[in-house]
Amino acid sequence: MTRMTRRVVITGLGIVSPLGSSVDTFWNALMSGASGARRVALDGIADVTAFPVDGVDDAARARFGQREIRRMDRVGRLATLAAAAALSDSGEHGVPAERIGAMVGCVHGGAQTLHDAEVTLATRGAERVSPLAIPLGLTNSAVAAVARTLDLRGPTGVTGTACAAGTDAVGAGVELIRSGRADLALAGGAEAPLAALLVTGYRQLGALSQTQRPPQEASRPFDTARDGFVMGEGAGILVLEERERALSRGATIYAEVVGHASTCDAGHLTDPDPEGTGAARVIALALADAQVAVDAVGYINAHATSTRAGDAAEARALAAAGLTTTPVSATKAAHGHALGAAGGIEAVVTVLALVHQTLPATLNLETPDAEIPLAHVLAPRPAPIEIAISNSFGFGGHNACLVMRAHHPPV
């Protein structure tokens, strides 16, 4: 079948997040205005405001056993829990292992494993460093854990395009289905970056919020008082498959991925193009891939991390793309910025907005920037949404966009 005839739908969802680790719990918390932020103690540095996930080790041990979780860094545990939930949610698919692929966005790999190895090397000597430090510390450790625990023997890969990685991974998964290289693909992102070195590094860059506000008020996307992002962890995974196959097996179809695109600013090491030119172009390219007009978009899940430069650049990009009157929200204020996992988590948010025909809100947005007025969603509300987009932008100028369509069963 050609690319244009292989329509890609979402038949499974998995989420592990600071707001909960089931789809219903996560969505209900998002709708209630909850925040997963709190103060977190990390080895060697002062407590930080962050968005941690509770109960990960216990849940992974119950699902996979103690022997298996010893062969995973925390990022692998997050990824496998979300992937297993998504695959279970997709139902009896009947696809052989050799035809199931996996694409997982991840930036920092096994950050805690590498931190522990460094501490061991410094305090106990080289002979005491674990032989698992390298395989668990690699960026591919999350997708490798997913493939191993779920016996996925098709094409696998990891995208590492900074905070665009999860969205790029979904795009890669879409191409596996479009091209016929896989009949089922798990795609999304996972990240466990709450390790002292990483938090310190991002702080030294000036990327993290230093506000003295309560933790739940620290992340303030698009607000004039924003001063940096608040780091989180988690995983969000989608199950993708070809539409006709999903219909033939009676699968629950949540939504359809109709377009995706990636671009690069090829500019500053960390800051986006201040005019948002590359970001506007990626939105246009994704809509062109979807064959969707800009005025058909009913919801935007913004990347908006609560940084001064990033949110301003995205607002300019949305204006350049003709989307200033389209409802927009940035849910990172509720679940945190999980770096490579952000696109996966927010893809789940975008799918659920289509399923529930409800716009999620941006928390803590008290005084929006006046330079470029946007149609901010300040409280959840019902709305007819046929087309939704999810944006992700990362260090290095990476831009990614997904376009999704609400599913309507054939008559």
* pLDDT averages per 10-residue partition of the chain, 411 residues: 72 98 97 97 90 97 94 97 98 96 98 93 95 95 97 98 98 98 98 95 95 97 97 98 97 98 91 90 98 98 96 97 98 98 98 98 95 95 98 96 94 72
> What is the count of structural domains for the chain?
2
Residue 1 lies in a domain: no
What is the CATH number for 102? 3.40.47.10
Alpha-carbon torsion (87, 88, 92, 96), positive or negative:
positive
Q: Known catalytic residue: 303?
A: yes
Q: Known catalytic residue: 264?
A: no
pLDDT of residue 60: 96
- Residue 237 pairs in a beta bridge with 14, 188
pLDDT of residue 371: 86
Q: Known catalytic residue: 108?
A: no
Q: Given 192, 218, 248, which residue is the final one in a domain?
A: 248
Do 293 and 179 fall within a single domain? Answer: no
Helix pair 23-32, 342-356: axis angle to 10 deg: 80
Do 154 and 53 fall within a single domain? Answer: yes
Kind and range of the H or E run holding 77: helix 74-89
Do 194 and 271 fall within a single domain? Answer: no
Do 42 and 180 fall within a single domain? Answer: yes
Of 115, 163, 376, 401, the catalytic one is 163
Q: Which of 204, 205, 164, 203 is nearest to 397 (CA)?
A: 164
Q: Given 220, 248, 276, which residue is the final one in a domain?
A: 248
Of 337, 376, 398, 407, the catalytic one is 337
Phi, psi of 94 (to 5 degrees): 70, 20
pLDDT of residue 410: 83
**Model pTM?**
0.96
CB burial of residue 12 (10 Å; 0-12, 13-18, 19+) = buried
Of 93, 108, 303, 398, the catalytic one is 303
Distance CA 37, CA 77 (A): 21
Characterize the bridge pairing of strands 297-301 and 327-329: parallel
Do 167 and 285 fall within a single domain? Answer: no
How many Cβ atoms from other residues are within 10 Å of residue 47's Cβ? 10
Task: Report CA 295 to chain centroid distance, whole Å.
Answer: 25
CB burial of residue 397 (10 Å; 0-12, 13-18, 19+) = buried
Characterize the bridge pairing of strands 38-42 and 398-406: unpaired
The residue with tokens 């298996």 is 68
Do 233 and 323 fall within a single domain? Answer: no
Q: Which of 389, 368, 227, 221 is nearest to 301 (CA)?
A: 389
Do 362 and 226 fall within a single domain? Answer: no
